Amino acid sequence: MIAQLDIAVRLVACGANLLLLVLLLAGEMRPGLKLPLAGLLVGAIGYLLNTAGGIRGLPGPFPLSDFVSIFTPYFTWLFALRVFEHEPPRLALWGAPLLLAASWLVAAFVLPHLHIGFYIIHVVGLLLVADLFRIALLERGDDLVEQRRTFRLWLPLLVAAQAGGILAYELVTG
């Protein structure tokens, strides 16, 4: 009963994310925000499917859910930086997704028994969350738009609590 409820809630959340994705792609939004938010929504769908035990046996693109879910912290970081109108460093902009993809390949195909890729993926995710937290709080005083200043206070706290908590839990428990 609980497992079926879990799957139902996950599928409803996936549907809601897909609806948001369609609205996002069809609507008007700053181009710099559209891609990171779309990546965040797709990554969240991947994470919901990837962490559901009962869904894994279904046919379809679910093996890819593991791959897309690892980019969720990256797109969260990129979206928040773009909202804060802070240009991300070029090395992190391209290096983080390349490192995440390479780590996934190592974890899935090259050395799956050593779990090296798993730990790298989680450490990179935690570093991105920590950097978001640092930028949001340290540069908050420079922001003259009051609504964005308030957003700078709550977004990193919520992201650190939710995404950072999940990443740290998975890192500790393996």
Q: Are 132 and 158 in contact (CB under 8 A)?
A: no
Could you tell me how far CA 41 lies from the centroid of its own chain? 8
Average pLDDT over residues 71-93: 88
Task: Tell me the per-residue pLDDT of 41-54, one tens digit each, with 9 for 90 and over.
Answer: 999 998 888 877 65
Q: Is 4 exposed, middle or buried (0-12, 13-18, 19+ CB in 10 A)?
A: exposed
What pLDDT score was predicted for residue 166?
82
Residue with more model confidence, 90 or 51: 90
pLDDT bin (cut points 50, 70, 90) of residue 143 is low
Computed over every residue of the chain, the mean pLDDT equals 83
Average pLDDT over residues 69-93: 88
Which residue type sits at 18?
L
State both tokens at 152. 């700078």
What pLDDT score was predicted for residue 145?
67
- Quick check: 99 pLDDT over 70? yes
CA-based max dimension of the chain: 51
What pLDDT score was predicted for residue 153?
72
Q: Are 131 and 163 in contact (CB under 8 A)?
A: no
Q: Is the dihedral of CA 102, 71, 76, 28 positive or negative?
A: positive
For the ranges 52-61, 71-80, 107-116, 131-140, which has the lowest average pLDDT?
52-61
What pLDDT score was predicted for residue 141?
65
If we measure between CA atoms, which residue out of 82, 86, 84, 80 comes closest to residue 147? 84
